Structure 1
């Protein structure tokens, strides 16, 4: 595992800064060209492009960064290619459990949920927690009671199950693997955005780790670890080995470095992901700054990702050298 982060950043000249921008991810991990056929690569890129286009349309139409983040993540949650919503991985007991968080950079309001099994789109629940409750973080049965009260769509748990994810669980059990995913792919999905008013937002959604036990919660729904947004600095959504991202406070740490040290999104993210690597963790982040700058940083061979902005940029990628 490399400890030096690979980074990509788009920065505009002062007079070319985009009015809006968005970046998305669909998880980081051990992706390699020799293990992914061209057809599979195109499937993932098409799925990413669909989500990216949904978020970009909101921003191009003058919508808010929160709405753009939500629109992109809903598409990713509904797509079984990714470990969130439909297509989420199974716990050791064969259940699909979901975590999500969303944060508004204007006032740092936030909402999150963990351990739900019936909420069709967990990102909608996270936003409702932020807007419609006095709390930030709801869990398991209580979160689903709240979802029902807010008329958020619930589905039969079988909706989330896919044969591919079940096979991964069986493989993990057969090989008596540890707590990590069978393929070392962290399929969390997320989005960060800046709208035409300069407001930023971040959101993250995940099914967690294949074979997770004991009610394990990763970094995705934890504000400051896997998700954070602050208009004074940036918006961050993370994907990776959640235990390490929690220990490093990754999302907040990146924002703090940008705000207090004046570092760029790329420089701050590189430093923090390097710390994660030193602890023994792997993964990546997407970052958006109020000036429209977006950055991807990872210490893995790949991360499903994409970005678009009002200057006409619209691109998706998988591997670290793209």
Structure 2
């Protein structure tokens, strides 16, 4: 259906003439973190997500359709900190946040503090499309989900043993710090694991979406950047971004919007804008993480400042390309 050609220039994937889908499964993964089996499962899940979004695009679906379909697969995969694989709060529950934005019309939907919504990204889309609001939280958001026929599950659905053990480790480290009256230094990994997707459809429309389980051992109903439009998610007519990292710093920097603002107002390339915000401004402020960014010409960038970031793209030929660690290259077709 589509004739798409790609070029790789200065480490940036440039899509020359057709739709494109770009994803991440979270920054912060480091070499040695995963067993061989875990790495294979993560790569398979990324590829499945790319195929799901690609199917929407090749069937004539919108960029929003592709983003929602892609993230739904990632939410169902226990390898990532979103949906089924969400981390645990201090109180031992899973608390989910999400957002989506349509770059063609500026509409957006977001939800935070969810405990029973199987696929939060579908609720974000329903909020965008079927309500007068942008963000809903907690019980109210789940009541709206019920009204919209969105699947709710028993909270035990989200429990995975790996995430539970991560919480136990964090609680033990917290107790040790309190006993010795020393400040608790949270590991950067506590903040990572968000999933996201960006799409450019056949009509040249951009969309962005993000979904997360937040940070391990979080308290007080803490909300990070993922459900905040402009911080973790942004899409307009020129640019789309989904972030993954230490949310407090992404909120303070309005990171996703800032990248696109530099494209819109300063004429920066998507690569230069992403590099400036993710690999310069946020680390300078004390944070870290990564992002995916995509412009209306089909140029994608994958800036991150950790040892790895689950990431990938798919084009017209339907072949998914994925990478995990910093040294991994995304294989590109000849053009």
Q: 1:180 deviation in Å? A: 4.1
Distance 1:155 1:105 in 2: 31
Find the counterpart in structure 2 of residue 223 from structure 1: 229
Q: How does 1:120-135 map to 2 (within 5 A)?
A: 120-135=118-133
Find the counterpart in structure 2 of residue 278 from structure 1: 284
Distance 1:195 1:96 in 2: 33
Find the counterpart in structure 2 of residue 257 from structure 1: 262
Distance 1:136 1:263 in 2: 29
Q: 1:79 to 1:312 in 2, by over 3 A?
A: closer
Find the counterpart in structure 1 of residue 12 from structure 2: 9
* 1:197 matches 2:203: yes
Distance 1:84 1:69 in 2: 15
Which runs of no fewer than 5 residues in structure 2 stay unpaired? 1-9, 178-183, 329-335
Query: Does structure 1 conserve the Cα–Cα contact (< 8 Å) formed by 2:54 and 2:318?
Result: no
Q: 1:179 deviation in Å? A: 7.6
* 1:141 matches 2:125: no
Question: Which stretch shifts more, 137-146 or 175-184?
Answer: 175-184
Give 1 or 2 for the bigger CA radius of gyration.
2
Find the counterpart in structure 1 of residue 241 from structure 2: 236
TM-score of the aligned structures, taking structure 2 as reference length:
0.89
Q: 3-state SS of the aligned residue for 1:39? A: helix
Distance 1:58 1:307 in 2: 14
Q: 1:183 deviation in Å? A: 4.1
Q: 1:36 to 1:262 in 2, by over 3 A?
A: same
Q: How does 1:291-302 map to 2 (within 5 A)?
A: 291-302=297-308
Q: 1:314 deviation in Å? A: 3.0
Query: Does structure 2 conserve the Cα–Cα contact (< 8 Å) formed by 1:190 and 1:205?
Result: yes
Question: Which stretch shifts more, 103-112 or 60-69?
Answer: 60-69
Q: 3-state SS of the aligned residue for 1:135? A: coil
Correspondent of 2:152 among 151, 154, 158: 154
- Structure 1 segments, 4+ long, off by >6 Å, are none
Distance 1:181 1:140 in 2: 27
Correspondent of 2:98 among 100, 118, 123: 100
Find the counterpart in structure 2 of residue 3 from structure 1: none
Correspondent of 1:73 among 54, 71, 74: 71
Can you list the C-alpha shifts for 1:194-218, whole angstroms capped at 9, x where unaligned?
0000000000000000000011000
Distance 1:133 1:216 in 2: 25
Find the counterpart in structure 2 of residue 267 from structure 1: 272
Aligned-pair RMSD on alpha carbons?
1.6
